[in-house]
């Protein structure tokens, strides 16, 4: 918990911007530099900054470790799920062309979904690892 006024005010201003930027990087990855991995890391950095500002216990009430654990697996399963759906639609594993009638649109949808899966996994992994590191060395862990 940081009581320094300037740091608190600046963090409050920056955290929403960082999160919006992460979402921009996530969904604009098809058109500009970036993608799921970078977006996940930036979103994780926003969570870490929030944790540094309000303290570990308060941050864990917002980003519950239990939910983060589920999200870590969910992102990976979303990625794999797109691949399995492609098999069920009659294509190869991770062959997005068969997802929609138009192969190019199918590719767009597939890339969007797998990048989302990567982003969710990376963001929750970064937050989880930081929570575990920050919670180390306390009597209650």
Q: Return residues touching another protein (CB under 8 A).
A: 25, 29-38, 41-42, 44-45, 48, 57, 60-61, 65-66, 69, 72-73, 75-76, 79-80, 83, 93-94, 96-97, 103-104, 107-108, 110-111, 114-115, 117-118, 121-122, 125-126, 128-137, 140-141
Identify which of residues 19 and 79 has a Cβ nearer to another protein in the complex. 79
CB of 108 to another protein, least distance (A): 7
CB of 23 to another protein, least distance (A): 14
Q: What number of helices (H) and strands (E) belong to the chain?
A: 5, 0
Core vs surface per residue 102-131: b (16+ CB within 10 A) or e: eeeebbeebbbbbbbbbbbbbbbbbbbebb
3-state SS, residue 94: coil
């Amino acid at each position: 918990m940081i009581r320094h006024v300037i740091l608190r005010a600046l963090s409050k201003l920056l955290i929403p911007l960082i999160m919006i930027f992460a979402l921009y990087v996530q969904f604009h990855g098809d058109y500009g530099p970036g993608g799921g991995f970078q977006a996940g890391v930036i979103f994780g950095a926003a969570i870490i900054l929030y944790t540094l500002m309000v303290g570990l216990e308060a941050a864990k009430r917002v980003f519950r470790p239990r939910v983060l654990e589920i999200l870590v697996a969910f992102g990976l399963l979303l990625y794999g799920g797109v691949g399995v759906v492609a098999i069920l639609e009659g294509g190869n594993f991770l062959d997005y062309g068969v997802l929609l009638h138009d192969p190019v649109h199918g590719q767009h949808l597939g890339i969007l979904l797998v990048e989302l899966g990567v982003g969710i996994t990376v963001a929750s992994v970064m937050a989880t690892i930081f929570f575990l590191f920050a919670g180390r060395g306390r009597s209650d862990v």
